Amino acid sequence: MIVTKNWLNEWIDLSSVATEQLLKTFNAIGLEVDRHEVICVPVGVVVGFVEACEKHPDADKLNVCRVNVGGDVRQIVCGASNVRAGIHVAVATVGAQLPGGLIIKEAVLRGVDSYGMICSSKEIGLPSMGEGIMILDASIGELINGKNLSEYSAFNDDIIEIELTANRGDCLSVHGLARDLCAAFNKELREIKQNVEPEGRLGIGRILQLQHTETYDVELLYGAVDVKGLSVPLLVAFRMAILEENYSHAMDTLLKYATHSTGVILRAYSFDALEDTGNGKSLITLSKDSNGYAVLNGKTSLSVVGVSQNDEARFTLNEGLAIIEASYIPPEIIAKKMGERKVLSCPHYYHTSRGSEPSLNKGVQYVMGLFEKYTTSTIYGGHLELQSPRETRVVTMNEEEFESFIGMKIDKTTLTQILKNLGMLISKPKTSAFAISIPNFRHDIVNKQDIVEEIVRIVGIDNIPSKPFVFAERNQNTSDFDTYKKVRMYRHRAAQSGFYESVHFVFNERRVCERFGFVCTDEDKELLNPITATFDTLRPTLMVGLLNSASANGKVNQKKIALFESGMVFDHARSESKRIAFILSGACEGEKISNAGKSPTVDLNGFAQKISDIIGSFEMTPHIPKHTLAHPYICAKVILNGQEAGELFRLHPSIEEEFDLSSTFMCELEMDALPYGLIQAQPFSKYQASFRDLSLLIPKTLSYESIKSVIVKHASADVKRFYPVDRYVSEALGENISLSIRFMLQSEEKTLEEEEIMAAMEWILTGLREELGVNLR
Amino acid sequence: MMETRALQEWINAIKSADTIDKIEEIRIAVFGKKGIMNAEFARMKDIPDTEKGTFAKELNIHKETLNALLSDRKLFLAMEHLSATMKSEAVDVSLFSPASARGSLHPVMETMDRIVEYFTAMNFAVHTGPMVEDDFHNFEALNLPKYHPARDMQDTFYFKDAKLLRTHTSPVQIRTMLSTKPPIRMIAPGSVFRRDYDITHTPMFHQVEGLVVEEEGKVSFANLKFILEDFLKTMFGEVDVRFRPSFFPFTEPSAEVDISCIFCAGAGCRVCSKTGWLEVLGCGIVDPNVFKAVGYENVSGYAFGLGVERFAMLIHRIGDLRSLFEGDVRLLEQFR
Residues B64-123 have pLDDT tens digits of: 999 999 999 999 999 999 999 999 999 888 888 888 889 999 999 999 999 999 999 999
Please answer whether residues B315 and B306 qualify as being in contact, where contact means their C-beta atoms are separated by less than 8 angstroms: no
Res A194: pLDDT: 59
Going from the C-alpha of A524 to that of each of A527, B159, B322, the distances in angstroms are: 9, 8, 31
Give the closest-approach CA distance of B291 to chain A in angstroms.
13
**A495 in B contact zone (CB under 8 Å):** yes
Number of domains in chain A: 6
Residue of B nearest to A165 (CA): B247
CB contact under 8 A, B253 and A530: no
Is B301 in contact with B285 (CB distance < 8 Å)?
yes
> Of A651, A617, A618, which Cα lies nearest the Cα of A634?
A651
Q: Side-chain half-sphere of B264: how many Cα atoms within 13 Å?
A: 13
- Nearest CA to CA, how far is A242 from chain B (Å)? 21
Please give the Cα distance from A595 to A558 (Å, whole number). Answer: 18
Q: Is B233 on the interface with A (CB under 8 A)?
A: no
pLDDT of B52 reads: 85
Whether residue A431 is predicted with pLDDT greater than 80 in this model: the reply is: no
Q: Which of A71-75, A763-767, B205-209 has the lowest mean pLDDT?
A: A71-75
Check pLDDT > 70 for residue A351: yes
* SS3 at position B188: strand
Residues A373 and A428 in one domain: no
Distance CA A538, CA A524 (A): 13
Question: Is residue A195 one of the residues assigned to a domain?
Answer: no
For A202-237, the pLDDT digits (tens) are: 888 889 989 998 889 999 999 999 999 998 999 999
Q: What is the model's pLDDT at position A400? A: 87
* Domain, as residue range, for A318: 204-386
Nearest CA in chain A to B128: A480
Interstrand relation of A537-538 and A507-508 (parallel, antiparallel or unpaired): antiparallel
On whether any CB of chain A is under 8 Å from the CB of B202, the answer is yes
Q: Does A230 lie in the same domain as A138? A: no
Same domain, A745 and A665: no
Contact A140, A234 (CB under 8 A): yes
Which of A620, A643, A673 finishes a domain? A673
Q: Which residues of A257-267 are buried (b: 16+ CB within 10 A; e: fewer)?
A: bbbbbbbbbbb
Instruction: Decide if A192 is inside a domain.
Output: no
Is residue B249 within 8 A of residue B148, CB to CB? The reply is yes
Q: Is residue A682 part of a domain?
A: no
| A91, A136 contact by CB (below 8 A) | no
Answer yes or no: do B226 and A466 touch at CB < 8 A: yes
pLDDT of residue B2: 59
Residue B4 has pLDDT above 70, yes or no: no
In a domain, residue A470? The reply is no
* Other beta carbons less than 10 A from residue A447's beta carbon: 15
Task: State residue A530's pLDDT score.
Answer: 94
CATH number for the domain including A357?
A: 3.50.40.10
Q: How far apart are CA B237 and CA B243, in angstroms?
A: 17
**Chain B closest-CA separation from residue A356 CA (Å):** 14
Pairing state of beta strands A219-227 and A320-328? antiparallel
Nearest beta carbon to residue A449 from set B148, B244, B288: B288
Residues A13 and A73 in one domain: no
Predicted pLDDT of residue A433: 83
User: Which residues in A lie closer than 8 A to residue B167 (C-beta atoms)?
Assistant: none
- Whole-number Å distance between alpha carbons of A302 and A618: 77
d(CA A58, CA B277): 58
A686 confidence band (pLDDT: 50, 70, 90): very high
Whether A475 maps to a domain, the answer reads no
Which residues in chain A have their CB less than 8 angstroms from residue B285's CB? 405, 449, 452
CB neighbours of A656 closer than 8 A, spacing ≥ 6? Answer: A662, A663, A664
Interface test with A, best of B112, B220, B226, B299 (most A CBs within 10 A): B220
The answer to whether residue B253 neighbours chain A at the CB level (below 8 Å) is yes
Average pLDDT over every residue of B183-193: 96
Q: What does the alpha-carbon distance between residue A624 and residue A637 come to, in Å, rounded to a whole number?
A: 8
Cα(A76)–Cα(A64) distance, integer angstroms: 6
On whether the CB atoms of residues A219 and A362 are closer than 8 A, the answer is no
Given A404, A434, A463, which residue is the final one in a domain? A463
pLDDT at position B119 is 97
The residue among A544, A476, A472 whose CA lies nearest residue A507 is A544
How far apart, in whole angstroms, are the C-alpha atoms of residue B176 and residue B137?
11
H-helix segments, A274-321: none
Q: Which residues 156-195 in chain A show a CB within 8 A of chain B?
A: 165-168
Q: Looking at the structure, do residues A456 and A325 belong to the same domain, yes or no?
A: no
Whether residue A556 sits in one domain with residue A422 = no
| A75 plus A28 within the same structural domain | no
Measured CA to CA, the distance from residue A315 to residue A267 in angstroms comes to 9
Q: Are residues A669 and A596 in the same domain?
A: yes
Domain edge (last residue) among A361, A386, A411: A386
Nearest CA in chain B to A335: B147
Average pLDDT of the segment spanning B23-51: 87
- Quickly list H helices, A375-509: 399-406, 412-421, 448-459, 479-496
Q: Mutual orientation of helices A174-185 and A19-28 as an angle, nearest 10°?
A: 90
B185 and A456 within 8 Å at the Cβ level: the answer is: no
Residue A462 burial (CB count, 10 A):
12
Amino acid sitting at position B9: E
Domain of A431, CATH number, reads: 3.30.56.10
Give pLDDT tens digits for A542-581: 999 999 999 999 999 999 999 999 999 999 999 999 999 9
Residues A514 and A535 both lie in one domain: yes
Q: Read off the pLDDT band of A193 (50, 70, 90).
A: low
Per-residue pLDDT averaged across A381-390, rounded? 88
Above 80 in pLDDT, residue A587? Answer: yes
C-alpha distances (whole Å) from A747 to each of A370, A550, A627, B225 are: 106, 49, 46, 66
Q: Which pLDDT score is estimated for A388?
A: 87
Confidence tier at A195 by pLDDT (50, 70, 90): low
Of all residues in chain A, what percent carry a pLDDT higher than 90? Answer: 73
B/e letters for A304-329, b = 16+ CB within 10 Å, e = fewer, are bbbbbbbeebbbbeeebbbbbbbbbb
Report how far residue A353's alpha carbon sits from residue A304's, in angstroms, rounded to the nearest whole number. Answer: 13
Cβ pair B244:A593 closer than 8 A: no
Q: Residue B242 pLDDT > 60, yes or no?
A: yes
What's B155's DSSP letter?
Answer: -
Predicted local confidence at residue A443, as pLDDT: 87
Residue A769's pLDDT band, with cuts at 50, 70 and 90, is very high
Q: Report the pLDDT value the prediction gives residue B149, as an integer from 0 to 100.
A: 64
Pairing state between β A500-501 and A394-398: unpaired
Band (A197; pLDDT cuts 50, 70, 90): low
The topology (CATH level 3) of B107-335 is: BirA Bifunctional Protein; domain 2 (3.30.930)
Query: What pLDDT score does B48 carry?
Result: 86
Q: How much is the pLDDT for B7?
A: 83
Q: Quote the pLDDT of residue B273.
A: 81
B124, B285, B324 ranked by CB distance to A476: nearest: B124
| Residue A490 to residue A210: CA distance in whole angstroms | 74
What's the confidence (pLDDT) of residue A278?
Answer: 80
Q: What are phi and psi of A735, to 5 degrees?
A: -80, 10
Residue partners of A80: CB distance under 8 A and separation at least 6:
A63, A118, A120, A131, A132, A133
